[in-house]
Amino acid sequence: MRGVYEGRRRDRFCPPGYSIETINHESAGALQLESRNIVKVVIAKTAGFCKGVRVAIEVTMTAIQQRRKGEDICTFGPLIHNSQVLSMLAKKGVVDQSRIELCAGKKVVIRAHGIPPYSRQKLHEQGATLLDATCKRVAKVHAAIKRHARRGYHTIIVGDADHAEVIGLLGYTENRGAVINRPEQIDEFPSDWDKVLLVAQTTQNEEVFREIQKAFLNKYPNGIVKNTICDSTQERQAEVRQMCSQVEAMVIVGGLNSGNTLRLAEVARECRIPTFHVETEAELDSEVMGRYSCVGVSAGASTPNWIIRDVVDYLENMGAGAGRKLKFKRLIESLSYGNFYIALATALLAQMAAALTNMAGRASFSLMAAGYAFAMHSLNVYLDQDSIELNDPGRAAFYLKWRPVFMASSALSLGVALTVAYRIGFPNFVAMLLLMLLGVVYGVKLFLPADWQRFPVKIKDIPTSKTFLVPTAWASVCVLPYFTSDFPLRVAYAGWAIFLLCLVRTTMRDLLAIQGDRLVGKETLVVLAGEKTTGKFVVGALIALVVTAVCGPLAGVATRFSYFLIVPAAIYGFFLKIGSTRKLREDPIYEVLIEIVLIVAGLCATAWRLVY
């Protein structure tokens, strides 16, 4: 482990009762474990951002997006305990300030941990505009302490005295507050207190709180106890305890100064299992981790999914043959980043339009559709850098590195698509121009009158615009060669069927990218309605696709190939089911699987046309 032998970090990696020497002895003797592949990585369902952290970042990102020229934005103290996210915010000009005078005249985001009321008052006095991102759970504790303090209660807080949240809680006690973290400390308080309140830092260890609660009630039978530990914290700790009975070692991912992350590591060590608390995969050592055949991974509430995913990737790609496996995965990812699968899927969907309508399709139709899809997706990724960076920094770096290539190839693709459309006919050429115009202005600010600024200034900011416009564009470009045909009902049917198929595909990809989309405020359906409601919407779209597939041939507006659409509908339904229980779903491999469904369906359509 990099840095594992440094004394200041030893406690982070060793379970209680163990030392580095003990582990070395066991590895050489009693355990007799050889370095081998990790055959299984168990990922905690509760790992990753909690609601409070998401809200704090959403508030900050909204402030960045709405920032006026010359306006300064800062946070009062670190927004969350994650250095990687803080670094991203710093690149956008948002840094944390620890001194109130440095916040004068600025927009100041109150971090998720909250602040004492006197700090809030002083910020106002300095002319700061406050954007409150205090976690609602923490705010409820503030309210409870404040309410009891006004009635003369003394408040005992179970937590870490130097933690930002606890400092904020103490500010509401009216100077009648104290902080403890051990049951025996209850004996230090006067026995004649008749009004006493016991609360907890929201990220405290549940078992520690219960022990202190028992000692508290023994001394103050009439005292009031409020278990203010966040439900999310309790769930994470309970899941880690459960996982420790199923795995050989635990990796806890998150900031070294993150209270809730430290608690997870403590819980794992209490289970007497080798525990490794790391911020990134760079702190893991393959020789050490290679001793275990099953490793559990959990993470703190302020740890982005992409960091967790990098740790999981590291563990899954150790040992013999890992190099070849990793190279293959990198190739798959590069093709996904380069929009290869999107272009191929659209090209083959153009052939599906021909198979559904029984009209003559040409290879040039597929070339036109692929050129359009590749160009539009390549151009628009540069308008979505914020969400891409928060979902997958590796992808963002890839686009930055290859930007000139993407720009040049996108321009060439648009030229090819326009040329093919012109050769089909002038109406088709005009339709292609309109589609391209829609794609280009999708992420560009619209020039609206001053009194209209309350409305979205970009098409992509219109609620659910991406969810519905992308499949509309794909379906339109696939049936564009047949716009002027003598069978409008067949063309309309093919467009509707392809639209439904692409709607499911796009919505499922939105589910993958929900973390980054939430953080930058991208108004996809899943951000607007939530994951559960969006899942029901996908089920409804799949049912509509199956009904469409069955009714098309019966109504005489489609060939029997329409029945085949039931297969991709069933596969997407299966993906939706397993995806709802799978963590780290925004992995590029899952994106590829979603696109492959369309590619296989398109290949089957091509084969159908050759046979029939």
**Is residue 7's pLDDT more than 70?**
no
- Indicate the range of 313-317, 467-471, 493-497 predicted with least confidence: 313-317
**Is residue 188's pLDDT more than 80?**
yes
pLDDT at position 143? 96
The pLDDT confidence band at residue 398, using thresholds 50, 70 and 90, is confident
Helices marked H in 151-230: 164-170, 206-219
| Nearest-angstrom CA–CA distance, 414 and 432 | 10
Q: Which two tokens stand for residue 30?
A: 């009693």
The pLDDT confidence band at residue 64, using thresholds 50, 70 and 90, is confident
Find the helix or strand (DSSP H, E) in which 179 lies.
strand 177-180
**Is residue 31's pLDDT more than 50?**
no
pLDDT at position 528? 66
Average pLDDT of the segment spanning 103-109: 94
Helices 566-579, 588-611: crossing angle, 10 deg rounding: 170
Tens digits of per-residue pLDDT, 539-567?
999 999 999 999 999 999 999 999 999 99
pLDDT at position 181? 92
pLDDT at position 441? 73
| Nearest-angstrom CA–CA distance, 394 and 236 | 28
Percent of the chain with pLDDT over 90: 49
Say which amino acid occupies 190: P
- Indicate the range of 38-47, 136-145, 414-423 predicted with least confidence: 38-47
Percent of the chain with pLDDT over 70: 82
The pLDDT confidence band at residue 250, using thresholds 50, 70 and 90, is very high
pLDDT at position 384? 61
**Is residue 453's pLDDT more than 60?**
no
Q: Report strand pairing: 249-253 vs 275-278.
A: parallel
pLDDT at position 469? 87
Tens digits of per-residue pLDDT, 415-438?
999 999 999 989 889 999 998 888
Given a contact cutoff of 8 angstroms between Cβ atoms, the answer to whether 138 and 159 are in contact is no
Given a contact cutoff of 8 angstroms between Cβ atoms, the answer to whether 358 and 605 are in contact is no
Burial bucket for residue 188 (CB in 10 Å: 0-12, 13-18, 19+): exposed
DSSP 447-493: ---GGGTTS-SSGGGSTTHHHHHHHHHHHHHHHGGGTTSS-HHHHHH
Say which amino acid occupies 36: R
pLDDT at position 588? 62
Domains of the chain: 7-48+233-320 (3.40.1010.20), 51-133 (3.40.50.11270), 138-229 (3.40.1010.20), 331-611 (no CATH)
| Nearest-angstrom CA–CA distance, 522 and 518 | 6
Phi, psi of 97, deg, nearest 5: -120, 135
| Nearest-angstrom CA–CA distance, 244 and 81 | 25
Q: Which long-range contacts (CB under 8 A, 24 or more apart) does 383-386 make?
A: 383/442, 383/443, 383/444, 383/460, 384/443, 384/520, 384/522, 386/61, 386/516, 386/519, 386/520
**Is residue 305's pLDDT more than 80?**
no
**Is residue 108's pLDDT more than 60?**
yes
Given a contact cutoff of 8 angstroms between Cβ atoms, the answer to whether 131 and 123 are in contact is no
Given a contact cutoff of 8 angstroms between Cβ atoms, the answer to whether 252 and 264 are in contact is yes
- Indicate the range of 251-255, 297-301, 415-419, 520-524 predicted with least confidence: 520-524
Place of tokens 């930058």: 520
Burial call 383-421: b when 16+ CB within 10 Å, e when fewer: ebebbbbbbbbbbbebbeeeeeebeebbeebbebbbbbb
Average pLDDT of the segment spanning 487-511: 92
Tens digits of per-residue pLDDT, 571-610?
999 888 876 555 544 456 777 888 999 999 999 999 998 8
**Is residue 34's pLDDT more than 50?**
no
Return the HEC string of 43-86.
Answer: ECCCCCCCHHHHHHHHHHHHHHHCCCCCCCEEEECCCCCCHHHH
Quote the mean pLDDT of the chain: 83
Tens digits of per-residue pLDDT, 154-178?
999 999 998 999 999 999 999 999 9
pLDDT at position 392? 67
Where is pLDDT greater, at 345 or 205? 345
Q: Using only C-alpha atoms, what is the Rg of the chain?
A: 28
Torsion of CA 235, 47, 465, 568, to 10 degrees: -100
Where is pLDDT greater, at 66 or 148? 148
pLDDT at position 4? 32
287 Cβ contact list (under 8 Å, min separation 6)? 35
Average pLDDT of the segment spanning 209-238: 93
DSSP 223-236: -EE-----HHHHHH
Given a contact cutoff of 8 angstroms between Cβ atoms, the answer to whether 257 and 80 are in contact is no
Q: Which residues are catalytic?
A: 165
Instruction: Determine the straight-line distance between the first and last CA of the chain, rounded to whole angstroms.
Output: 61
- Indicate the range of 164-168, 449-453, 459-463 predicted with least confidence: 449-453
Return the HEC string of 345-390.
Answer: HHHHHHHHHHHHHCCCCCHHHHHHHHHHHHHHHHHHHHHCHHHHHH
Closest CA to 286 of 262, 327, 324, 251: 251
Tens digits of per-residue pLDDT, 206-215?
889 999 999 9
pLDDT at position 535? 85
**Is residue 9's pLDDT more than 50?**
no
**Is residue 402's pLDDT more than 50?**
yes
Tens digits of per-residue pLDDT, 331-380?
887 888 888 999 999 999 999 999 999 988 789 999 999 999 999 888 87
